[in-house]
């Protein structure tokens, strides 16, 4: 049977449409893959640049802490390190030419940060001594803090037991030891309790006393047995005018409570928390670093980064 010209033209048209569809599909896939590759490369570049900027902010914070150590003054909230860096456009830091219009040429990036004294909070690492046993004076101090801020005092014994078990356990199935306050959830502490503890407690890699020059009154009252909140508030008021330079200066303000020891309180600190925050449009990268100051050496002990979308944050 002969094929009519009409059928031949129809088959040719159908073949052409199929070919065009395949070409368009392949071209669209190639364009999408190219776009995707560009997006991935751009995101990776932004991530690396953000990391470099936050690393630079951390180095600057370490320099400030080193200069504070050189001064020989007590660690107090009146020192330059305690002044936070308010959010500022990054171009104000990077502009080298004063004649350039930073508002037009600068990147849409904003940097902020702060340094806080980690020894302004009660260190829960103190709850277990070097022999792996609960430290009774420190457990009692934590119980006093819990009572003051409205948390069940039995929490102190629970956390002490959990830290003791994690420290003593060995082997592949041994429980992990919490290294941050948020990780107390591993010991069964609920999120609301952890949030209530955050302003007053911390978990450091080693034992540390409370700094009377930086701690809130609740922590000072917990660290010094027999001290009430009113007297602790008076110590806070006194240090604002003139920071305590020696433990003996603190002792002179609370006679009759027994001698203070360097294991309880101090006027200088070695542990600091450095926070940096970089905002790029709706993306936010936050970095938290734990710095140990040993003489003029500033050693970064822990570091964590969290990336979020600002519109999704609560």
Strand partners, 94: none
pLDDT, tens digit, 9 for 90 and up, residues 112-147: 899 999 999 999 999 999 888 999 999 999 999 999
What's residue 36's pLDDT? 77
* pLDDT (average), residues 67-96: 84
With pLDDT > 90 as the criterion, what percentage of the chain qualifies?
51
Tell whether the model's pLDDT for residue 18 goes beyond 50.
Answer: yes
pLDDT, tens digit, 9 for 90 and up, residues 143-152: 999 999 999 8
What's residue 2's pLDDT? 53
Q: How confident is the model at residue 288 (pLDDT cuts 50, 70, 90)?
A: very high
* Six-digit token string for 235: 């110590």
41-117+270-312, CATH topology level: 3.30.1300
Residue from 124, 291, 303, 146 nearest 201 by CA: 124
Tell whether the model's pLDDT for residue 210 goes beyond 70.
Answer: yes
- Confirm if 247 and 262 have CB atoms less than 8 A apart: yes
Q: Is 244 left (phi over 0), alpha (psi -120 to 50) or beta?
A: beta
pLDDT, tens digit, 9 for 90 and up, residues 233-257: 999 999 999 999 999 999 999 988 8
Give the length of the chain: 314
What's residue 214's pLDDT? 97
What's residue 314's pLDDT? 44
C-alpha 116/C-alpha 199 separation (Å) is 11
Domain ranges of the chain: 41-117+270-312, 120-264
Give burial (CB, 10 Å; 0-12/13-18/19+) of 276.
buried
With pLDDT > 70 as the criterion, what percentage of the chain qualifies?
83
Tell whether the model's pLDDT for residue 38 goes beyond 90.
Answer: no
Q: Which residue has the tokens 């940097």?
A: 111
Tell whether the model's pLDDT for residue 189 goes beyond 60.
Answer: yes
Distances from the Cα of 110 to the Cα of 61, 113, 176, 192, 273, angstroms: 17, 10, 37, 31, 20
């Amino acid at each position: 049977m002969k094929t009519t010209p009409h059928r031949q033209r129809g088959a040719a048209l159908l073949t052409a449409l199929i070919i065009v569809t395949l070409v368009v599909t392949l071209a669209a896939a190639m364009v999408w893959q190219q776009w995707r590759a560009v997006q991935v490369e751009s995101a990776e570049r932004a991530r690396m640049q953000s990391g470099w900027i936050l690393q630079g902010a951390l180095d600057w914070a370490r320099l400030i802490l080193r200069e504070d150590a050189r001064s020989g003054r007590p660690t107090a909230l009146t020192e330059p390190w305690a002044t936070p860096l308010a959010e500022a456009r990054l171009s104000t830091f990077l502009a080298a030419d004063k004649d350039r219009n930073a508002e037009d040429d600068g990147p849409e990036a904003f940097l902020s940060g702060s340094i806080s004294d980690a020894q302004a909070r009660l260190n829960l690492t103190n709850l277990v001594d070097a022999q792996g046993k609960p430290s009774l004076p420190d457990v009692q101090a934590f119980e006093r803090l819990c009572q003051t801020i409205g948390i069940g005092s039995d929490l102190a014994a629970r956390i002490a037991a959990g830290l003791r078990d994690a420290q003593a356990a060995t082997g592949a199935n041994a429980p992990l030891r919490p290294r941050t306050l948020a990780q107390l959830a591993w010991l069964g502490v609920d999120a609301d309790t952890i949030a209530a503890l955050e302003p007053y407690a911390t978990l450091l890699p080693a034992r540390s006393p409370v700094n009377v020059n930086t701690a809130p009154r609740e922590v000072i009252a917990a660290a010094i047995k027999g001290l009430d909140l009113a007297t602790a508030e008076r110590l806070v008021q006194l240090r604002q005018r003139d920071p305590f330079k020696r433990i003996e200066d603190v002792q002179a303000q609370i006679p009759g409570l027994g001698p203070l020891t360097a294991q309880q309180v101090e006027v200088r600190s070695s542990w600091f928390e450095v926070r940096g925050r970089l905002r790029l449009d709706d993306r936010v990268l936050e970095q938290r670093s734990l710095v140990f100051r040993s003489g003029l050496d500033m050693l970064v002990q822990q570091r964590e980064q969290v990336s979020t979308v600002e519109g999704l944050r609560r």
